């Protein structure tokens, strides 16, 4: 069986003492790929995940400015992002979005989010979205700015209800379910996972955060994605094998790892000289 962890923070300090062992356990658990999220500690520290992707063939990376770091970004940050997006193992802009939980002013977050969506559209890259206590604003911006671009959008660590899931699905977006799906009180999230079409779903850990049951409250790691997969397979009434296979192939399709089916998500970069301004 092959799984993918579609969202993990392998660069996190919590892994500094045993990162190789964590990655080895993930491979033993059957993880084919991991997508390491490249937000680091915010600008200028944005290439952390790219370094990991360089070190491991099965690790891919994103780069982006997390909304909680929006105040650290400046013009240099965007130049830096643009050049990191040319790296062949960078597969998306993310995680980007809005987070009204930690008190970064909206006026600071909103333009950074919008500009990164524009950059992703210009570079023909998928986006990985973080939203917390900011559902309406996030969806409004994605609806107006991103939906017309018609490139993949992944709502990471989806913790909404089935109605919110449908809003995203109607816009053509993908939902990535994490450890919260396994929490006893998260019946609404499980219902969202139940009604999401199988070709629109991903699984993730968001490690080192939000470990699934039975590791809840401890450090999370990519190998634990199997616990979340088992719960989702259960609520959907499918085998773990099927859920693993479908979420793995979704990952490959969304992030352009199937060159025979779709052009790579980043294919534009080779021809940037004559496709500018799309």
CA dihedral (226, 231, 233, 239) positive or negative: positive
Residues facing 176 on adjacent strands:
202
Q: How far is the CB of 130 from Zn ion (least distance, A)?
A: 3
Residue of minimal Cβ distance to Zn ion: 130
Q: How far is the CB of 239 from Zn ion (least distance, A)?
A: 28
Q: How far is the CB of 67 from Zn ion (least distance, A)?
A: 9
Nearer to Zn ion, 130 or 190 (CB): 130
Q: Binding residues for Zn ion, per CB under 5 A?
A: 37, 95, 130, 206
Cα dihedral: 120, 122, 123, 124 (round 10): 80
Question: In which order are the strands placed within the sheet that holds 59-63?
Answer: 3-8, 31-36, 59-63, 90-99, 127-132, 153-155, 174-177, 201-203
Nearer to Zn ion, 11 or 95 (CB): 95
For residues 88 and 85, give the distance between their C-alpha atoms in angstroms, rounded to a whole number.
Answer: 8
Please state, as a whole number, how many other Cβ atoms lie within 10 Å of the Cβ of residue 171: 14
Nearer to Zn ion, 99 or 243 (CB): 99
DSSP code of 207? B
- Three-state helix/strand/coil letters over 83-149: HHCCCCCEEEEEEEEEECCCCCCHHHHHHHHHHHHHHHHHHCCCEEEEEECCHHHHHHHHHHHHHHH
Q: How far is the CB of 48 from Zn ion (least distance, A)?
A: 13
Q: How far is the CB of 53 from Zn ion (least distance, A)?
A: 16
Q: How far is the CB of 270 from Zn ion (least distance, A)?
A: 29
For residues 114 and 96, give the distance between their C-alpha atoms in angstroms, rounded to a whole number.
Answer: 9
Coil, strand, or helix at residue 174?
Answer: strand
Nearer to Zn ion, 81 or 96 (CB): 96
Nearer to Zn ion, 97 or 256 (CB): 97
Q: How far is the CB of 208 from Zn ion (least distance, A)?
A: 10
Nearer to Zn ion, 37 or 141 (CB): 37
Nearer to Zn ion, 22 or 233 (CB): 22
Q: How far is the CB of 183 from Zn ion (least distance, A)?
A: 16
Residues facing 171 on adjacent strands:
none
Contact 35, 176 (CB under 8 A): no
Nearer to Zn ion, 39 or 250 (CB): 39
For residues 61 and 92, give the distance between their C-alpha atoms in angstroms, rounded to a whole number.
Answer: 7
């Amino acid at each position: 069986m092959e799984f993918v962890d579609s969202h993990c923070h392998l660069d996190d300090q919590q892994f500094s003492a045993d990162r190789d062992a964590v990655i080895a356990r993930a491979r033993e658990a059957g993880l084919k790929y991991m997508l390491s999220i490249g937000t680091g500690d915010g600008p200028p520290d944005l290439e952390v995940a790219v370094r990991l992707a360089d070190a491991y063939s099965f690790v891919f990376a994103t780069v982006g400015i997390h909304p909680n770091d929006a105040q650290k970004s400046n013009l240099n940050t965007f130049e830096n992002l643009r050049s990191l997006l040319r790296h062949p193992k960078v597969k998306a802009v993310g995680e980007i979005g809005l987070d009204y939980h930690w008190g970064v002013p909206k006026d600071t977050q909103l333009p950074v989010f919008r500009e990164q969506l524009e950059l992703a559209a210009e570079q023909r890259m998928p986006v990985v979205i973080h939203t917390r206590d900011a559902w309406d604003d996030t969806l409004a911006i994605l609806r107006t700015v991103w939906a017309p671009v018609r490139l993949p959008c992944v709502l990471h660590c989806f913790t909404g209800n089935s109605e919110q899931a449908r809003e995203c699905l109607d816009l053509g977006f993908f939902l990535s379910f994490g450890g919260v799906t396994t929490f006893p009180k998260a019946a609404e999230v499980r219902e969202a996972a139940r009604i999401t079409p199988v070709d629109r779903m991903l699984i993730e850990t968001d490690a080192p955060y939000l470990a699934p049951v039975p590791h809840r409250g401890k450090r999370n790691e990519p190998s634990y994605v199997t616990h979340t997969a088992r719960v989702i397979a259960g609520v959907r009434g499918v085998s773990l094998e099927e859920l693993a296979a479908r979420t793995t192939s979704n990952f490959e399709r969304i992030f352009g790892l199937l060159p025979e089916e779709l052009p790579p998500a980043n294919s534009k970069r080779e021809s940037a000289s004559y496709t500018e301004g799309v």
